[in-house]
Amino acid sequence: MNKLTCYYALSGINYKNSTVTCCPRQADQLVFQKDTILPSEIYNHNNFKELRKSLDIGIWPKGCDTCEEMEKNNLKSMRHDFRIPMSNWLEIQKKYNVITGEMSKDALTHIELRFSNACNFSCLHCSDVYSSKWANILKTFKQDNDMIKYDLKQLLGTEHRHGDDDNLSMKMSISQIDEIVNDLCKNFPNLELIDIAGGEPLYQKQFWYALEKLTKHPNAKNIIFSFHSNFNTDFDIVYLSHLLKKFKRGVILISIDGGENIYPYFRKGGKWSQLVKNINKIKRIDQKTHIVGTCTTSAYQILDIKNVFESILSLDLIFDASIVQTPKYINPSILNYDFFTVINKDFDEVINYINSKLTGKKKMDAIHWFNYIKEYTNETKIGYKHYNRFLVYIQKTDKIWDCDFNNFYQNYRIIDGELERI
């Protein structure tokens, strides 16, 4: 069997909700933070070594299922998605001990931290694990038979969980941040990429504390510090920019995930005008930090894909995208059964728009991510039952959030519980 060489398995540590893995997609809980929080103990933890050994002999570990699914559909998976120079990547591979599965500490280049689920949004693709707003929403309604019958995981509080007894939460204290950052400064001289995800980091005191402390890492001048944010809250943009400038580069990955039409519907809690205001301000005061607009793409985005692209591209950011593979009832490909032809007509309009409005690198990036979304949507096969689950999810979430799908979508209507193109 072919080796499944993975950048993240060899060079990453990823802190999640009281657990630690090596990448954002890995679903197995490799280390529990109650056992250790220290990168120097996690990096060569037995479960990390076993994961590497399995990939090295070409066997997909269970928790790598989303990469496996992508590759089965001939798509590029996250394991190839590294953001360091090729020469550094080749050096990292030499630091793998094929017998023991160990890596030498100077091979760790990527770390991703999550401090808390505190968030001011409750987006339709998220869950209580990642959003405190979602956790509060779950307390406001009673689960009904449909939610159970259609296994609407987010509404049942089972999404991003590992079984009935998994009630872990994302909570990192200031003293734990001290332990982690001190260890990174002392033992990991080649750290190159720091990612912060959430919750909403800008909303969390731990984020600001960690950011200040990480500016003191001995390799800070060679580190790219990036964080995911909805960028839709009040915060001190000037101070943020000041801190980010202490790294080789700051990168703000702004999850936009909608066009002007559906933004307030999909990203519950968000205002498009506040987003635009914050983006304009950071662009005005900071030309060094890279501002990336990401489109996390589920079935909801596909239903308004032209406005999604037009709106995000109008913000004049670096464009980026990802796919919501789970829960399956919002996977983009569920729409193929009833709407394949019209969706591909919409895709044609998007590519015409990109070709007519953009030039140079911005055009290349937009085309790259457009093709990624289109190929995934068209090539992935998911059972029809998930489409029915989507319809029930829309019905339930509209009721819970007291809103109406039909007031936001221009090309589709829900009529008597069915989705229709208009």
357 vs 124, 361, 362, 406, CA distance in Å? 30, 12, 10, 29
What are 270-274's contacts with CB under 8 Å, separation 24+? 270/121, 270/230, 270/232, 271/232, 272/311, 274/232, 274/233
**200 belongs to the binding site for ligand SF4 (CB under 6 A):** yes
247-306: contacts with ligand SF4 (CB under 6 A): 255
Pick 5 or 215: Cβ nearer ligand SF4: 5
Tell me the closest approach of the beta carbon of residue 86 to ligand SF4, in angstroms.
18
Single residue of 113, 126, 135, 334 touching ligand SF4 by CB under 6 A: 126
CB 259 within 8 A of CB 297: no
Number of residues that bind ligand SF4 (CB under 6 A): 24
- Nearest distance in Å: CB 61, ligand SF4: 6
For ligand SF4, the closer of residues 196 and 313 by Cβ is 196
Residue 20 makes contact with ligand SF4 by CB under 6 A: no
- Residues 69 to 88 in contact with ligand SF4, rule: CB under 6 A: 77-79
End-to-end alpha carbon distance in the chain: 49
Asked if residue 168 lies in contact with residue 17, where contact means CB atoms within 8 angstroms, the answer is yes
Tell me if 67 contacts ligand SF4 by CB under 6 A. Answer: yes
CA distance 372 to 217: 35
Segment lying near ligand SF4 (by CB under 6 A), choices 114-122, 206-214, 303-311, 313-321: 114-122
Q: Report the nearest approach of ligand SF4 to the CB of residue 336 (Å).
A: 24
Kindly state the smallest distance separating residue 172's Cβ from ligand SF4, in Å: 15
d(Cα 78, Cα 6) in Å, to the nearest integer? Answer: 8
CA angle 152, 156, 151 (to 5 degrees): 30
Which of 272, 387, 300, 375 minimizes the C-alpha distance to 125?
Answer: 300
Of residues 67 and 354, the one with the C-beta less far from ligand SF4: 67
User: What type of residue is 368?
Assistant: H
Q: Which residues bind ligand SF4 (CB under 6 A)?
A: 6, 8-9, 22-23, 25-26, 64, 67, 77-79, 119, 121-123, 126, 130-131, 198-200, 230, 255
